[in-house]
Amino acid sequence: MKNEMNELCSVEGAEYFEVEDRAPLAEVKLFARDVGVKYGENEALKNVSIDFMEHQVISLIGPSGCGKSTFLRCLNRMNDTIEGCRVTGEIRLDGKDIYSKATDPVEIRARIGMVFQKPNPFPKSIYENICYGPRIHGMANSKADYDDIVEWSLTSAGLWDEVKDRLNEPGTGLSGGQQQRLCIARAIAVHPEVILMDEPCSALDPIATAKIEELIDELRERFTITIVTHSMQQAARISQSTAFFHLGELVEEGKTDDIFTKPGDERTEAYITGRIG
Amino acid sequence: MTDNMPRSIQSGPDLSAARIARRNRSERWFRQLGILAIGSALLMLAVLMTSITSKGYSAFWQTQIAINVNFASSDVLPTEKVNFRGLARRSIRALFPDVKSRRDKRALYKLFSNGIGYELRDAIQRDPSLLGQSKRIWVKASADTDMLVKGFIERAVKQSDRRLSDKQLTWFDRLEKDGRIAKRFNLTFFTQADSREPEQAGILGALIGSILTLSVTLLLVFPVGVAAAIYLEEFAPKNRWSDVIEVNINNLAAVPSIVFGLLGLAVLLNWVGLPRSTPIAGGVVLALMTLPTIIISSRSALKAVPPSIREAAIGMGASPLQTVSHHVLPLAMPGMMTGAIIGMAQALGETAPLLMIGMVAFIVDVPGGFTDAATVLPVQIFLWADAPERAFVEKTSAAIMVLVAFLIAMNLFAILMRKKFERRW
């Protein structure tokens, strides 16, 4: 089985070797090769290679502690903030190596937005929450510009009608689902190219979850989305591709339909049928 | 399933009444112990406050004596040239024409404060229309007279054992019968600096000294402490060096304050050459002393900001400095300010290090700036507690009351700040 995996990887690797990483396929937005993460001596992730296609939703699934969140946080260099964390391998955004010395992590995070597991609006007004990103990235000059950004972002996040009359109230006063949509609105306000979502619905009830899922499907038209989820139904519902992680390794990655109907690896099958996890 | 279950599990939990009663008993016992602890702490505090208040409240009143002063009788202008002391003594003698001998006259003057000449001068400077008039003026009684009025001098005691002689007592009784004795609010206590004469001594010099010293301390310690805390908490790599620094800061917080005084003496006065006994030197010493406290409290305020806020900001593309200045610092500020105010309260009550840099000097002027010789409230208390005159006992307690009032005000301010600026998330 180990051999099978190696074969799979080498086949995929060979494929991309031909393509040549300096000029990846036009629709490959994010490109990860042999990504490994070590926390001190502890190896959390090894040899992960995935391509993220433009305007697609890709789900990262796997049991707790399998490294999927760690991998997600590598993609916008969030792991930089963790003491003792070392990332190896290569990740490119539109062909640009995001871990090269010349790359500014701030620029990467402006182009790759993130939504966290627990809704974490700033303890400021709804309006200020949305404006924060555009303000620090110098995207607007006038109050009117900010007003436009706020309305567009909240409308895109499906929150405008619910909050338009109370934009000056604190964002922390909203319900959990609304807070999470506010966080999504905040992320898209800087018009990123990729949005990373780390279990965005795990703290929400089914109704709020449904709204977020609907929203993710709409957002796919404008953004490339990567979502970590524990819910396989959710992965099946919203994503076009799925990657299954187990014990720090990428077991397999492919079209969501294929992964759920004819998994190529028995560990994947075991997980999606509920035998491991 | 039940086959291999241990016997002790099969028998289930012991829910017998005796066991429950024992558990409830220890629960009750512990609660009562807690109430007892709180109660005894409150009782001690109450005893302390009652003792201080009962000793000190009388210092807020001062005995005054009315004398008739004929401002026309001498050439009163220009005021600097006039012998006001002589004028005052003439007025006193006029009340007691029967007192003839020099010794008796001197004893008579002792019923009055020896500063009444200045009082007359002040009176005419305040109201020049007094010129050429004869007027009844209230002047301070001496501290001994004041003690007699407040009941601290026993008439029954043998003459040689009390501060006022029989003759002085009869003069006093005559003044009282004439309605010339009154207890007035002791404004001097709040408007004058220290003095050898208890009735002329006030707290203002020490109060201003404390305020000047603490402003130097705050200006130095708050920016430095907060910056150090932010760097250590948000930016510094976590390695052996940061551990060493952390341990040392914690140790520094526990260093006896007198050591900082010695450091101030050796370094600030002898080496840097700061002027002795001044708020600037005292402020720097107290800043050194409170710095670890401020760093520790600021760090815990920063630690209390949830990491999710930092993640949110960093995820939005904020730089580490933007994350701190836009999000973390505003959220930690109330906690930091509370810590700073508590540190300041600690500095306000500090005596030992200031003794080492000469702030224990006897200073009769209200300090006008950071380089004027000054003393501070706790040192003033120390000086008065050391003074032999009976009248300084009540002044000591009154000064403690002022100090405690300031501490309470500062802590109240800290609580209000926290309530006002605390944000929930």
The verdict on B89 and B129 lying in the same domain is yes
Cβ–Cβ under 8 Å, residues B195 and B361: no
Residue spans of alpha helices (H) in B256-376: 257-263, 279-303, 307-315, 320-322, 329-348, 352-356
What was the pLDDT predicted at B123? 86
Whether residue B229 sits in one domain with residue B109: no
ipTM of the complex: 0.83
Q: Which among A72, A86, A166 is positioned nearest to A127, based on CA atoms?
A: A166
Task: Encode burial over B155-175: b for 16+ CB neighbours within 10 A, e otherwise.
Answer: eeeeeeebbbeeebbebbeeb
Same domain for B168 and B101?
A: yes
Asked if residue A63 has a cis previous peptide bond (ω within 30° of 0), the answer is no
Q: How many CB atoms lie within 10 A of CB A113?
A: 27
Nearest to A190 among B238, B310, B316 (CB): B316
B50 domain residue, yes or no:
no
Averaged pLDDT score across all residues of chain B: 90
Cβ–Cβ < 8 Å for A134, A185: no
On chain B, the residues whose CB falls within 8 A of the CB of A186 are: 312, 316
The domain boundary, picked from B128, B151, B184, lies at B184
Return the closest-CA partner of residue B220 out of B301, B279, B296, B304: B279
**Is residue B261 located within the same domain as residue B365?**
yes
Among B153, B184, B215, the domain-final residue is B184
For A123, which of B314, B316, B424 is closest by C-beta distance?
B424
Same domain, yes or no: B269 and B329: yes
Residue of A nearest to B328 (CA): A122
In this structure, is residue B150 part of a structural domain?
yes
pLDDT digits (tens, 9 = 90+) for B104-144: 999 999 999 988 888 888 888 888 888 778 888 899 999 99
Res. A4 pLDDT band, cuts 50 70 90 = very low
Compare all CA atoms of chain A with the CA of B330 and give the residue at the minimum distance. Answer: A123
A186 vs B238, B316, B331: nearest CB? B316
Q: Domain check: are B286 and B142 in the same one?
A: no
B161: pLDDT confidence band, cut at 50, 70 and 90?
A: confident
B139 shares a domain with B238: no
Choose the final residue of a domain: B122, B153, B184: B184
Strands A249-255 and A85-93: unpaired
A9: closest CA of chain B, how far (Å): 31
pLDDT of residue B418: 82
For residue A15, what are the contacts with CB-CB under 8 A and spacing of at least 6?
none
Same structural domain, B250 and B356:
yes
Inspect the interface and report whether the beta carbons of A107 and B237 lie closer than 8 Å.
no
Q: How would you classify residue B179: left for phi > 0, otherwise alpha for psi between -120 and 50, otherwise beta?
A: left
Total-model pTM: 0.81
Q: Which helix (H) or strand (E) element contains residue A257?
A: helix A256-261
Cα angle vertex B49, ends B46, B53, to 5°?
135
User: What total number of domains does chain B contain?
Assistant: 2
Tokens standing for residue A14:
């060979």
DSSP label at residue B113: -
Give the best-scoring range by mean pLDDT among A246-250, B66-70, B124-128, B245-249: B245-249
Indicate whether B19 belongs to any domain.
no
Q: Domain check: are B294 and B376 in the same one?
A: yes
Position with higher pLDDT, B79 vs B399: B399
- Domain presence at residue B313: yes
A137–B315 C-beta distance less than 8 A? no
Arithmetic mean of pLDDT, A173-178: 90
Domain check: are B161 and B225 in the same one?
Answer: no
Are B324 and B387 contained in the same domain?
A: yes
Domain that holds residue B172: 65-184
Q: At residue A13, does pLDDT exceed 50?
A: no
**B159 lies in the same domain as B292:** no
Q: Scanning every residue of chain A, which has its alpha carbon at the shortest distance from the alpha carbon of B306?
A: A120
Whole-number pLDDT of residue B291: 94
Q: What is the mean pLDDT of chain A?
A: 85
Best residue in B234, B242, B305, B316 for a mutation probing chain A (most A CBs within 10 Å): B316
Sign (positive or negative) of CA dihedral B167, B171, B174, B176: negative
pLDDT in the model for residue A11: 40
Q: Collect all residues of chain B within an 8 Å Cβ-Cβ radius of residue A109.
A: 314-317
Q: What are phi and psi of A138, to 5 degrees?
A: 60, 45
**Which of B309, B423, B424 is the closest to A120 by Cβ?**
B309
CATH number at residue B389: 1.10.3720.10
Q: Residue A261 phi/psi, 5° resolution?
A: -100, -40
Question: Given this model, what pLDDT does residue B423 score?
Answer: 64
How far is it, in rounded angstroms, from Cα A29 to Cα A36? 20
Chain A residues within 8 angstroms (CB to CB) of chain B: 76, 78, 81, 83, 106-107, 109-110, 113-114, 116, 118, 120-123, 132-133, 136-137, 172, 183, 186-187, 190
B223 is a domain residue: yes
